[in-house]
Amino acid sequence: MELLEVRWHGRGGLGAVTSAELVARAAISEGKYAQSFPSFGPERRGAPVLAFLRVSDDFIRIRTAIYEPDVIAVLDPGLLYAVDVTSGLKKNGKIIINSRKSPDELKSEFGYKWPVAAVNATKIARETIGVPISNTAMIGALLKVTEIVKMDSLAEQLQERFGLRARVNVEAMKRAYSETVIKE
C-alpha cells in the first residue's frame, strides 16, 4: 500500500481522534506503518476537531498535519455548512460523510466532484451502541471505501479499547460497512 492519508472532521466527543488511533493501531498490528494525531482548536465537547491518519507499507517520514488528504471522513454533517472539509482534497480523493442524505443528494447540494460515500452512522450508533457517537460506525465506512486494514484487525483493536462494550462497537462498524453507499 502506498501512503494513504485520511483527515477526520469531527466535533469534540464524537470520537474522531479515537477513530484515527484505532485504525492506526490496526494497521500496525498488520505490520504496516501508521501515524495518528489530533489537531484541536478550543478543547471542549462539541468544538470542531481534526484528526489525522497515515498508513503505508513503507516507513513514514513526514510528521506534519495532512493538508492534501486522499480521503476525508466527516463525523458531523453540520460541519459541511461550517467548514470547507474538502480543502486540499486530492483530485482522485474520496469523501465519507455521516449523513441521512444519499451520496447523490450530498454531491448535488455541495457540488462535490469527488466520489462520495454516505452512511447514517449516528442512527447506526444509536441503534447498536445506544449513544449517538458515530466513530466506530465511520470506521466501517472507511473500511468499505479504502480497505485500509482488515475488519478483523479493527475488531481486535475495538475489543482492546472498549472491553465489555466492544461487541456493540464491532456490530456498529460491520453494519456501517454494509450500509455505506458510494457514488462515483
**Interval 44-72: pLDDT, tens:** 667 789 999 999 999 999 999 999 999 99
pLDDT in tens, 99-133: 999 999 999 999 999 999 999 999 999 999 999 99
Q: What angle do CA 170, 176, 178 make, to 5 degrees?
A: 105
Give mean pLDDT, residues 162-167: 94
* Domains recognised in the chain with CATH numbers: 4-183 (3.40.920.10)
Question: Between vectors from CA 173 to CA 172 and to CA 174, what angle results, nearest 5°?
Answer: 95
Question: What's the pTM value of the predicted model, to 2 decimals?
Answer: 0.95
**Portion of the chain with pLDDT greater than 70, in percent:** 96
